[in-house]
Amino acid sequence: MSKKIAVLRANALGDFIFTLPALNALKDAFPDSEIVYLGKAWHKEYLTGRPGPIDRVEIIPPYPGVGERENYIPDEAVTEAFFERMRNENFDIAIQMHGGGFYSNPFTKKLGAKLTVGLKTPNAEPLDVNVAYVTMYSEILRFIEVVSYLGATTTNIAPTIAVTEKDLDEAYNVLKHPKDQHFVVMHPGASDLRRRWPSAYFAQIADFLAGEGYQVYLTGTGAENEVVEEIISYVNAKGDVHNLCGQLSLGGMTGLLSLADIMVSNDTGPLHLARALETPSVGIFWTVNSLTAVWMNSNLHRSLISWDPYCPLCGTDCVQPNFSTEHCAHETSFTAYVKVDEVKQALQDLLKFTEMKSAV
């Protein structure tokens, strides 16, 4: 039966990647239905014309707790116009995949769908069908559970995303060497400084990979140029290490990662994009983040985890259930416990596997 289904998930890149198995399952269960993704402007730019389960993206206006900080003051006229337009869509189902629901469940109910389904913490307003939102749990699996209550199931639990010719053209435009050149992408940034592996460690890995015959491309936003330049300042093999900060759109990044031999990254969106593209990767994680972002393929991807929960500057346990930034607001790396030799070993293992696979 054909349905019109709204999915709310106005978050960042990695958050979007984690929804893909559930969205594919939803499309398989309702193949003639229209899936409308309620997200941000970058979702619309990136997903328009890209093969996948999403038929259309609607950009939500700035809204407290849903894409903006909880204390954000919205433009009431703009938000009401948006909700009126959404109610006129006559959605059969609205699915809340945005978070625990304290802010996003009232938002979802304002869409006027015949049936609402989604995540809920104990203090959140209930939807028609509720799935308990628990912490320290796989994001991929929690979204698959949400759509399962609509009869959508899947055995394909690893996210995948399509690459377009436009993606590849943009990537080739920034490569410094011919198309057959072997290269590695390293992404040393992350919005949360606690998840950033030290720059000096990334530099040692860049030198190691250059010594193995790879060109190394460091990626990041324009705001992350400083950390990339810091890494390059530590590097010995400077001729083989290139700064691409701010030079690629998300589509171009998709093309670049699809062509790379391997990726080394902190726990951040581009790492999860590389994994959705089946590009071998070494990801560096801080403790509980490894649980929420766990991946499903150990031959292609290695997740190296810094298990120490204590702030290296003040010793506060930053994983305890009642932790808040009021107890520790230090912006420093919590992942330095992952050693350079661990990353080198993981890279060697993955490169051996990929060489073996290409020889078969």
Encode pLDDT of 261-301 as tens digits: 999 999 999 999 999 999 999 999 988 888 888 887 888 99
Instruction: Please give the order of strands across the beta sheet that includes 4-8.
Output: 56-59, 34-39, 4-8, 93-96, 115-120, 129-132
Distance (Å, rounded) from C-alpha 342 to C-alpha 348? Answer: 10
Which residue type does 133 have?
Y
| CA atoms of 308 and 290, how far apart (whole Å) | 13
Contact (CB, 8 A) for 302 and 319: no
Q: What is the pLDDT of the chain when averaged over all its residues?
A: 92
| Of residues 352 and 81, more confidently modeled | 81
CA dist list (Å): 123 to 94, 134, 347? 20, 12, 44
Would you say residue 338 has pLDDT above 60?
yes
* Residues contacting residue 55 through CB under 8 Å, at least 6 positions apart: 34, 35, 36
Report in angstroms the alpha-carbon separations of 136 from 72, 89, 176, 288, 331: 27, 35, 41, 6, 22
Compute CA distances 129 → 18, 98, 186, whole Å: 21, 15, 41
Q: Is it the case that residue 333 has pLDDT exceeding 60?
A: yes
Residues 13, 270: contact at Cβ < 8 Å?
yes
Task: List the structure tokens of 175.
Answer: 């490569």
Which SS3 state, helix, strand or coil, does residue 43 take? Answer: helix
Mean pLDDT in residue range 7-12: 96
Instruction: Check pLDDT > 90 for residue 340.
Output: yes
* Domain layout of the chain by residue ranges: 4-148, 165-359
Residue 115 has pLDDT above 80, yes or no: yes
Q: Give the Cα separation of 57 and 35 in Å (integer).
A: 9
| 20/276 Cα distance (integer angstroms) | 9
Question: If you search the block for the tokens 């990537």, which residue do you land on?
Answer: 171
| Architecture of the domain spanning 4-148 | 3-Layer(aba) Sandwich (3.40)
Using CA atoms, how far apart are residues 7 and 35, in angstroms rounded to an integer? 7
Return d(Cα 277, Cα 138) in angstroms, integer.
19
pLDDT band at 2 (very low <50, low <70, confident <90, very high): confident
Query: So what's the pLDDT on residue 211?
Result: 95
- Rounded average pLDDT over 144-149: 98
Least confident segment among 246-255, 277-286, 324-333: 324-333
Q: Where does the pLDDT of residue 117 fall: very low under 50, low under 70, confident under 90, or very high at 90 and above?
A: very high
Q: What is the pTM of this model?
A: 0.94
pLDDT score for 312? 84
Whole-number pLDDT of residue 318: 80
| 165-359 shares the fold of 4-148 | yes
- Contact (CB, 8 A) for 275 and 188: no
pLDDT surpasses 90 at 315: no
Given this model, what pLDDT does residue 317 score? Answer: 84
Residue 261 identity: D
Question: With b meaning 16 or more CB within 10 Å and e meaning fewer, what string describes 302-334?
Answer: bbbbbebeebeeeeeebeeeeeeeeebeeeebb
**Across residues 105-131, what is the average pLDDT?**
98
- Topology classification of domain 165-359: Rossmann fold (3.40.50)
Q: How many other C-beta atoms are found inside a 10 Å radius of the C-beta of residue 182?
A: 14
pLDDT classification of 349: cutoffs 50, 70, 90: very high
Residue 326 has pLDDT above 90, yes or no: no
H or E segment and range at residue 41 = helix 41-47
Residue 34 and residue 5 in contact, taking contact as beta carbons nearer than 8 Å: yes
CB 169 within 8 A of CB 255: yes
